[in-house]
Amino acid sequence: MQLTIADLKRGQKGIVKDVSSKEIPLKLLEMGCLPGNHVELLQVAPFSDPMYLNINGTHLAIRKETAKHIIIEPSTNE
């Protein structure tokens, strides 16, 4: 199974690999959620939803259902 942002634990990092899913709004890409960019899960609300992320220096929150579609690979330098 592929790793997605929804699988991250608080404080974990990864690198965005694939954002081609239709469920990902263009707005998210425009805010920097693009392949190759670093992503870190900073904080979660109760029930891990929504998720508060730092993607490529932008701090934003998305719902878990969107996070499930953003495929990542584990960060190599950790």
Partner 1 sequence: MSKQINVALIGNPNTGKTSVFNALTGLNQKVGNYPGITVEKKQGVCKLPRGVKAHIIDLPGTYSLNASSLDESVVIELLLNKNDKDYPDVAVVVTDVENLKRNLLLYTQIKDLKIPTILVINMSDRMSYKGISLDIDYLETQLDTKIALISTRKGKGIEDLKSLIINYKTLSIESCIDIRNIDTNYFEGLEHVFPNQSLYKLWLVITQDVNFGKIDKNTINDATNFKTKSESDLKRLQQKETIKRYQFINNVLKKGQTIDLKSAKDIRIQLDRILTHKVWGYLIFLGILLLIFQAIYSWAETPMDFIDASFASLSEWLSTKLPDGVFTNLITEGIIPGLGGIVIFIPQIAFLFLFISILEESGYMSRVVFLMDKIMRRFGLSGKSVVPLISGTACAIPAIMATRNIESWKERLITILVTPFTTCAARLPVYLIIIALIIPEGTLLGIGYKPLTLLIMYLIGFAAAVGSAYLLNKIMKIRSKSYFVVEMPTYKLPLFKNVFITVVEKTKAFVFDAGKIILAISIVLWFLASYGPGDDFNNAEAIVTEQYASVNLTQDELDEKIASHKLEHSFIGITGKAIEPIIQPLGYDWKIGIGIVSSFAAREVFVGTLATIYSVGTDDEDTIKNRMAKETNPFIGGPLYNLASGISLLLFYAFAMQCMSTLAIVKRETNSWKWPILQLVTMSSIAYLIALIAYQVLK
Sign of the Cα pseudo-torsion (67, 54, 12, 38, in order): positive
Between residues 3 and 35, which has the closer beta carbon with respect to partner 1?
A: 35
Q: How far is the CB of 1 from partner 1 (least distance, A)?
A: 24
Rounded CA gap, 59 and 61, in Å?
Answer: 7
Between residues 34 and 73, which has the closer beta carbon with respect to partner 1?
A: 34
Among residues 1, 2, 9, 27, which is the contact residue for partner 1, using CB under 8 A?
27
Query: What stretches of 8-75 adopt beta strand conformation (E)?
Result: 13-18, 38-44, 51-55, 58-62, 71-74
Between residues 12 and 50, which has the closer beta carbon with respect to partner 1?
A: 50
> How is residue 5 annotated by DSSP?
G
- Residues near partner 1, by CB under 8 A: 19-20, 22-23, 25-32, 34-35, 42-43, 45-47, 49-50, 52, 56-63, 65-66
